Amino acid sequence: MRVIICGANQIGSSIASYLSKEDNDVTVIDTDANSLSQIGSDLDVNTVAGLSSDPDTLKNAGASECDLMISVTDSDETNMVACQVGHSLFGIPKKIARIQNQHYLDPAWANLFSRSHVPIDVIISPEQLIAEDIYQRLIIPGATNVINLGEYKAYLIGVICMEDCPVLHTALGHLNNLFPDLSFSVVSLIRGTKTIVPDETEMLEEGDEVFIVVESQHIRRVMAAFGHMEKDASKIIISGGGNVSRALIRKLQNDIGNLQIKVIERDADLAKQLSEQLTDIVIVNGHTLERSIMEEALISSADTYIGLTNDDENNILGSLLAKQYGCARVSAMVHNNSYFPLVGSLGIDMLISPKSIIVSNIMQHVRRGRIISIHSINDGETEVTEIEVSESSGVANQIIEDLELPANVVIISLIREGNIIIPKQNDKILPHDHLIILSPRNKAREMEEILSVHVDLI
């Protein structure tokens, strides 16, 4: 497939990395020559310098033969015009655009992005996606990752095994005997920098991040079994009053309510805007890293702190200070993934990676055919993919243990007629089953070929 990516920022670079490793012809457009030089040396992609919305730039990028355009520059207007030009002048069949300004997404203007106006096939709203991801983790206290499976019938959750975890040093094969009435399965774990697909003899160690498939009705009891009996968030302090914070606050107020929410915002003008736009919250104007500001926000009595500024270091240090001052659970939004191996050992309970969230969502729309959804964990090194089995698929009516799956590729769940099944090796895969598959990122294409999943990009 021929793909044009507009924007050599972190999001554009990540998408280019995904697609170039799957033997697609990828061209990246950007006005920044240094960014293009970097991405061109790191990845097997073509680069074109210029404005993404300029017809000549798109022509030089091969727009007339392009199957898919993904416009993720930092400018909504550039993304919109690029899609319009790609459609009107070059007939690009599928266009995905990143739109950040929530005013463009107001339901009152829903017709704006129709094919007869601004022809964008898929709109990605980063703020809404990040807010939704944080919300899902907040409603399962203690979880580091939360991925819904089968339309919320089951979840893949991540938890850290602390020193008081009841199942430390217990062979995984014994867990079903210890909890016979719970439907769950440990499918992966991260130990240090190593990702492990465990067998029944594996024993959990302190500090392991464990990934568990569990039916929705058993989540609380499974969390307790792994030592996480945290109370629901009720007193939340958010550092940063940007668009992500606003989207999260509105969702929390609409879906949960009865929360005490405080926002610490350094910019006085933005703090004033927040007080005018949002109701039933407390705005504290000041710097998160100042002890007096933390004390004014009553950090010691808060149960949840979330660092959502645009500064990674501020989010990390603010989270560490919040925990030091007595806040029970702290989390930080981190754009630079080089921080990820360091932060977990410092005691931050939850890391939020905007890049991983956005790229995962875009890839769901890029891949079609029988692939229904894709989610990334472990900073994109591992994927959770939901696939529908067609009647003509090579795996239909096959026994799981007879499948020659690549190393570390695991079918972690089956969804059959709306029911969740934790699969055993002697289970048979039937047509129309949905398979939930855990696989290393570099095994994705091999896994798709074995499962006879035909991936189209349009």
197 vs 48, more confident: 48
Burial classification of residue 22, based on how many CB atoms lie within 10 Å of its CB (0-12 exposed, 13-18 middle, 19 or more buried) = middle
Instruction: Judge if 398 and 418 occupy the same domain.
Output: yes
Scanning the structure block, which residue is given the tokens 């890293």?
A: 289
Would residue 404 count as lying in a domain?
yes
At residue 303 the predicted structure's pLDDT band, cuts being 50, 70 and 90, is: very high
Instruction: Judge if 429 and 395 occupy the same domain.
Output: yes
| pLDDT at res. 131 | 95
46-55, 105-114, 224-233, 434-443 — most confident range:
46-55
What the block records as the tokens of 445 is 């294409």
Q: Max alpha carbon distance in the chain (Å)? A: 66
| pLDDT at res. 268 | 96
Would residue 136 count as lying in a domain?
no
* Order of all β-strands in the sheet with 434-440: 371-377, 382-388, 434-440, 410-416, 419-421
What is the domain count for the chain? 4
Instruction: Judge if 317 and 270 occupy the same domain.
Output: yes
- CA 297 from chain centre, in angstroms, equals 30
Spatial contact of 288 and 294, defined as CB atoms under 8 Å apart: yes
Would residue 135 count as lying in a domain?
no
341 vs 309, more confident: 309
Would residue 132 count as lying in a domain?
no
Instruction: Judge if 329 and 411 occupy the same domain.
Output: no
Taking only the tens place, the pLDDT of each residue in 376-397 is: 777 667 888 888 888 878 788 9
Instruction: Judge if 21 and 97 occupy the same domain.
Output: yes
Does 442 score more than 90 pLDDT?
A: no
* Order of all β-strands in the sheet with 194-196: 145-149, 154-160, 209-215, 184-191, 194-196
Does 191 score more than 70 pLDDT?
A: yes
% the chain with pLDDT above 70: 95
Mark 336-363 as b/e (b = at least 16 C-beta within 10 Å).
Answer: ebebeeebbeeebbbbbbbbbbbbbbbb
Instruction: Judge if 344 and 369 occupy the same domain.
Output: no
The SS3 call for residue 450 is: helix
185 vs 445, more confident: 185
At residue 28 the predicted structure's pLDDT band, cuts being 50, 70 and 90, is: very high
Query: Residue 3 belongs to what H/E stretch?
Result: strand 2-6
Choose the weakest-confidence range: 92-106, 307-321, 335-349.
335-349
Instruction: Judge if 166 and 212 occupy the same domain.
Output: yes
Spatial contact of 66 and 92, defined as CB atoms under 8 Å apart: yes
Structural domain harbouring 379: 362-450
At residue 195 the predicted structure's pLDDT band, cuts being 50, 70 and 90, is: confident
Q: Any idea what the Cα angle at residue 448 is, between residues 13 and 366, rounded to 5°?
A: 40
Does 210 score more than 70 pLDDT?
A: yes
CB within 8 Å of 370: residues ≥ 6 apart: 387, 388, 389, 390, 393, 453, 454
d(CA 7, CA 424): 44
| pLDDT at res. 60 | 97
| pLDDT at res. 458 | 44
| pLDDT at res. 113 | 86
> Considering the chain, what is the average pLDDT of its residues?
89
Q: Any idea what the Cα angle at residue 208 is, between residues 329 and 201, rounded to 5°?
A: 145
Q: How many CB atoms lie within 10 A of CB 95?
A: 25
d(CA 222, CA 45): 45
Spatial contact of 233 and 258, defined as CB atoms under 8 Å apart: no
Spatial contact of 153 and 215, defined as CB atoms under 8 Å apart: yes
Would residue 134 count as lying in a domain?
no
366 vs 427, more confident: 427
Taking only the tens place, the pLDDT of each residue in 281-296 is: 999 999 999 999 999 9
* Order of all β-strands in the sheet with 281-285: 281-285, 260-265, 235-239, 304-307, 329-333, 350-352
Q: Give the residue from 277, 280, 287 showing the smallest Cα distance to 317.
A: 287
Does 456 score more than 70 pLDDT?
A: no
Burial classification of residue 45, based on how many CB atoms lie within 10 Å of its CB (0-12 exposed, 13-18 middle, 19 or more buried) = buried
**Pairing mode, strands 68-71 and 2-6:** parallel
pLDDT, mean of residues 236-262: 93
Q: Which of 185, 202, 225 is the last residue of a domain?
A: 225
Q: Give the residue from 150, 218, 220 showing the smallest Cα distance to 419.
A: 150
Instruction: Judge if 384 and 278 occupy the same domain.
Output: no
% the chain with pLDDT above 90: 54
CATH number, domain of 276, equals 3.40.50.720
Q: Which of 330, 352, 374 is the last residue of a domain?
A: 352
Does 315 score more than 60 pLDDT?
A: yes
Does 454 score more than 60 pLDDT?
A: no
Would residue 347 count as lying in a domain?
yes
| pLDDT at res. 371 | 74
Cα Rg of the chain, angstroms: 23
Instruction: Judge if 266 and 294 occupy the same domain.
Output: yes
Instruction: Judge if 345 and 370 occupy the same domain.
Output: no
Would residue 420 count as lying in a domain?
yes
* DSSP string for residues in 72-136: --S-HHHHHHHHHHHHHHH--SEEEEE---GGGG-GGGGGGGSTTSS--SEEE-HHHHHHHHHHH
Q: How many CB atoms lie within 10 A of CB 49?
A: 16
pTM above 0.75, yes or no: yes
27 vs 452, more confident: 27
Instruction: Judge if 288 and 344 occupy the same domain.
Output: yes
The SS3 call for residue 38 is: helix
**Which DSSP symbol is given to 51?**
-
CATH number, domain of 429, equals 3.30.70.1450
Choose the weakest-confidence range: 30-34, 99-103, 450-454.
450-454
Taking only the tens place, the pLDDT of each residue in 106-144 is: 888 878 888 778 899 999 998 899 999 999 999 898 898
Would residue 191 count as lying in a domain?
yes
Q: Which of 124, 151, 172 is the last residue of a domain?
A: 124
Instruction: Judge if 215 and 248 occupy the same domain.
Output: no
Spatial contact of 406 and 450, defined as CB atoms under 8 Å apart: yes
d(CA 160, CA 344): 10
